[in-house]
Chain A
């Protein structure tokens, strides 16, 4: 199943609803292009909703980090929302939980950007 991205704006935060798999050749490039496009257009607060992301491989993890650093380098912030059990486990085992701000509630996540 290829990945789909739906972008919406909520109180100045670009919320990306992702669904499917983020793997080499399936979604990695799409995610990279979407985040770079938003960042180049001035979006500084980006929230990746991963509730419907069933699977991420090591390439997908790399793209999450690339998205994070792209936004941070522009002076913004990128956070993750609603991880599935498998994705949460991957971020724990790789210690990427120490890098990302991971939220469970969208409204609280939006507020946490502290505009």
Chain B
């Protein structure tokens, strides 16, 4: 179990739904410990969950040989969460807007949109192999509810 009092810690986890839940709960605890209000805690936890689902489901495709890595950092001004997988890579730029009329009834394609909606910064980095998502929530924006 990670020490939530540390400024930065990292998990390396199996490609499983248990890992998704663990990463989500860690983000939730970290955001709450940082003093963010419950609405922002919900948003951070959900964004991190969606990133972990992407890594496990779309990145590693539940491959037991592949791991996901989740690192959490409280800089004092922001929370920085990095989630990486060992899959074939995720192309974020081609993600369609799920709010477009032609996409509203589609059953998937909302994960990246929710991540971008709930975090202040989202960065994609191509690894070899895999993809790393960096999610940043600034405390200043969280105080103003943006």
Binding site for B on A (CB under 8 A): 23-26, 55, 57-59, 61-63, 65-66, 68-69, 86, 90, 93-96, 98-99
Question: In this assembly, does B117 line the interface, its C-beta being within 8 Å of a C-beta of chain A?
Answer: yes
Binding site for A on B (CB under 8 A): 17, 20, 42, 46, 49-50, 53, 57, 98-99, 104-108, 110-111, 113-114, 117
Taking a contact as CB atoms closer than 8 A, the residue among A25, A63, A94 that contacts B107 in the complex is A63
Taking a contact as CB atoms closer than 8 A, the residue among B17, B42, B53, B105 that contacts A58 in the complex is B53
Q: Is the Cβ of B104 less than 8 Å from the Cβ of A98?
A: yes
Q: How far is the CB of B92 from chain A (nearest CB, A)?
A: 15
- Which residues of chain A have C-beta atoms less than 8 A from B111's C-beta? 58
What would 17 more interface pairs be, CB under 8 Å, given A94-B110, A96-B104? A24-B17, A24-B57, A25-B17, A57-B49, A57-B53, A58-B50, A58-B111, A61-B110, A62-B106, A62-B107, A65-B107, A66-B107, A86-B42, A90-B114, A93-B117, A94-B99, A95-B99
A95 and B114 CA atoms in complex are apart in Å by 12
- Which residues of chain B have C-beta atoms less than 8 A from A65's C-beta? 105-107
A70 and B117 CA atoms in complex are apart in Å by 29
- Which residues of chain A have C-beta atoms less than 8 A from B57's C-beta? 24
Task: Closest B residue to A61 by CB, please name it.
Answer: B110
